[in-house]
């Protein structure tokens, strides 16, 4: 009986010994891990859970001249997935799809196509509260990433000028593109600890602070911008026109206070954006300027010393033959002095003056006023226009250039050129950025001050009774300007019933502060003359802008509205 007891006791001792040995091994291993291998294991843990993540930087703000926002960046969340980790039931995937505004099948197809990747966007730029609802579903493999989205408070009113960014916040059009480097921020970096679901549980170290983009202050006055856009849009709709553009310029500083086009687009919602709405027509669309060029021919004539304001030109019988080409006036205006040439907009008189002048004198006046070269605005895609070298001019070209055919300009070029008359013969380069009071602006002499003031005085007759644009007058202010009504070119010549209606002018004429150019392309109703179509737009925009800038009147108020005199296409 003693032998079985001894065996049982031996077994217990062996079992106890094995257990003690196991505990000893565990204790030893624990000591090894905690004392000897702790640095190695901590490094391995950090390698798996310590990450360097990017800290997004927001883009610089674009403001008008008074600091009113025109483009700002707002924080948003983007939802992304790791196809290798994503595990979701059909019901969960359907709920995710509903929050993302898509279908579960589309998400499955997207993940299936990119299953070899570890990062796939499911939805960019969601509102933070909506994105949090996605994360609240607690589905492994779905994460959030903070980004910034551009928002444009002025919407379509300033869209052609400001432009827009893409989904990665890079400038694509307009000033967003031109100043992309200036506006773009520099992302920062920080070291963080993430849990198994890639959620940040601890910020460990700031490696590099994010650097926001720099702000950009434009020359634009948002109040005048809204006014110009509203009036241009109303005119284009009223006359069933194809398109239009308007530029409002501070003639003294060269600052663009407003620039608008029709048709326009909403940069905050570009789903249905088409190419014809995208163009900044004031900078990219060229046209023949017609009779708006006559003041420059008159100025060249006065500058030459061969003409004085009282010089008389016989326009009878309203026709003038140049080679095989016949130049027409709307009526037989008889004998006109230089003021009458401007007031009646005589093609015959302008042609006779141009043919009597040295071609180089005309070309110099045109080119130094800025025709044939892009302005210094720096706007992407701005075109040069066209002005041929005077050595290639034939007589007919000299004649037609006098009333604005044979060259091409943009609305911005025409506004800059008219500022020469507003600045007593000096050309001030235009800018889309706000200029400080101390900024040194280079001024180029184009015409003698006496010449510029004389032509400006002549242009005041255009908005008076008997002129071509009394509808462009502004109550209480002296206005100087010129109309243009241009036949559009087409294959084989010029269209008979397709026009561009123009008005370019300045106020107050005694000491001009503002220059406004209005271009309405292809008005399709009965009215198509510049004085009828573009003149009233000029009047309303100029009146509003003068009031907003608190510029004192310099004339007696108008007593009544008058109709424009007949104006020929030129």
Which residues are catalytically annotated? 291
- Burial, 259: exposed, middle or buried (Cβ in 10 Å; 0-12, 13-18, 19+)? buried
For 404, the token pair is 């604005």
Cα torsion at 101, 104, 109, 112 (round to 10°)? 120
Are 476 and 507 within 8 A, CB to CB? no
What would you report as the CA-atom Rg of the chain, rounded to the nearest whole angstrom?
A: 36
The answer to whether 458 and 342 are in contact (CB under 8 A) is: yes
> 36 to each of 21, 211, 253, 465, how far by Cα in Å?
21, 43, 75, 103
Whether the CB-CB separation of 295 and 421 falls below 8 Å is answered with yes
> DSSP characters for 402-438?
HTT-S-BB-HHHHHHHHHHHHTTTEE---BSBPPPTT
3 state DSSP class of 519: strand
Q: How far apart are CA 70 and CA 471, in angstroms?
A: 33
How many angstroms separate the first and last alpha carbons of the chain? Answer: 136
Tokens read off for 299: 């100025």
Classify residue 173 as exposed, middle or buried by CB count within 10 Å of its CB (0-12, 13-18, 19+): buried
- The contacts found for 186-191 with CB under 8 angstroms, 24 or more apart, are 186/57, 186/210, 186/211, 187/54, 187/55, 187/56, 187/57, 188/54, 188/55, 188/57, 189/52, 189/53, 189/54, 189/55, 190/52, 190/53, 190/55, 191/50, 191/51, 191/52, 191/53
Would you tell me how many other CB atoms lie within 10 Å of the CB of residue 37?
13
**Cα gap 361→414, rounded to integer Å:** 19
Is residue 259 classed as helix, strand or coil in its secondary structure?
strand
């Amino acid at each position: 009986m003693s032998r079985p007891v001894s065996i049982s006791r031996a077994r217990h001792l062996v079992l106890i010994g094995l257990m003690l040995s196991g505990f000893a091994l565990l204790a030893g291993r624990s000591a090894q891990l905690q004392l000897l291998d702790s640095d190695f294991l901590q490094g391995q843990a950090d390698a798996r859970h310590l990450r360097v993540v990017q800290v997004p930087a927001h883009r610089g703000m674009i403001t008008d001249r008074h600091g009113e926002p025109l483009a700002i960046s707002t924080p948003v969340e983007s939802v992304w997935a790791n196809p290798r980790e994503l595990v979701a039931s059909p019901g969960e995937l359907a709920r995710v799809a509903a929050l993302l505004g898509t279908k579960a099948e589309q998400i499955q197809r997207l993940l299936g196509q990119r299953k070899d990747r570890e990062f796939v966007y499911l939805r960019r730029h969601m509102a933070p509260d909506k994105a949090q609802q996605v994360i609240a579903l607690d589905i492994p493999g779905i994460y959030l990433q903070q980004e910034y989205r551009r928002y444009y408070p002025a919407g379509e009113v300033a869209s052609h000028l400001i432009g827009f960014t893409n989904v990665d916040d890079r400038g694509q059009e307009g000033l967003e593109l031109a100043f992309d480097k200036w506006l773009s921020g520099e992302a920062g970096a920080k070291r963080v600890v993430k849990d198994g679901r890639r959620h940040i549980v601890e910020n460990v170290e700031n490696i590099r602070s994010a650097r926001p983009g720099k702000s950009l202050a434009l020359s634009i006055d948002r109040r005048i911008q809204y006014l110009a856009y509203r009036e241009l849009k109303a005119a284009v709709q009223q006359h069933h026109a194809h398109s239009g553009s308007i530029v409002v310029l501070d003639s003294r500083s060269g600052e663009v206070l407003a620039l608008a086009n029709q048709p326009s687009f909403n940069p905050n919602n570009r789903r249905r954006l088409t190419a014809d709405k995208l163009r900044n027509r004031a900078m990219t669309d060229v046209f023949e300027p017609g009779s708006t060029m006559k003041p420059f021919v008159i100025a060249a004539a006065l500058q030459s010393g061969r003409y004085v304001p009282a010089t008389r030109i016989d326009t009878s019988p309203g026709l003038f033959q140049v080679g095989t080409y016949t130049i027409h006036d709307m009526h037989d205006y008889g004998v006109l002095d230089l003021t009458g040439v401007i007031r009646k907009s005589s093609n015959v008189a302008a042609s006779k003056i141009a043919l009597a002048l040295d071609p180089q004198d005309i070309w110099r006046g045109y080119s130094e006023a800025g025709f044939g070269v892009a302005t210094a605005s720096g706007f992407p895609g701005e075109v040069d226009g066209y002005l041929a070298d005077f050595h290639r001019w034939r007589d007919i070209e000299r004649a037609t250039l006098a009333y604005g055919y044979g060259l091409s300009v943009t609305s911005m070029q025409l506004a800059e050129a008219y500022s020469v008359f507003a600045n007593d013969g000096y050309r001030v380069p235009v800018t889309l950025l706000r200029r400080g009071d101390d900024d040194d602006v280079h001024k180029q002499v184009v015409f003698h001050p006496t010449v510029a003031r004389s032509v400006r005085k002549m242009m005041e007759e255009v908005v008076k009774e008997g002129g071509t644009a009394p509808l462009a007058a502004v109550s209480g202010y002296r206005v100087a300007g010129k109309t243009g009504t241009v036949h559009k070119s087409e294959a084989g010549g010029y269209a008979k019933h397709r026009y561009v209606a123009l008005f370019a002018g300045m106020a107050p004429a005694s000491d001009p502060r503002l220059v406004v150019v209005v271009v309405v392309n292809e008005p399709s109703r009965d009215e198509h003359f510049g004085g009828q179509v573009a003149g009233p737009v000029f009047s309303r925009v100029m009146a509003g802008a003068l009031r907003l800038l608190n510029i004192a009147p310099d004339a007696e108020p108008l007593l009544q509205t008058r109709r424009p005199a007949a104006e020929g296409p030129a």
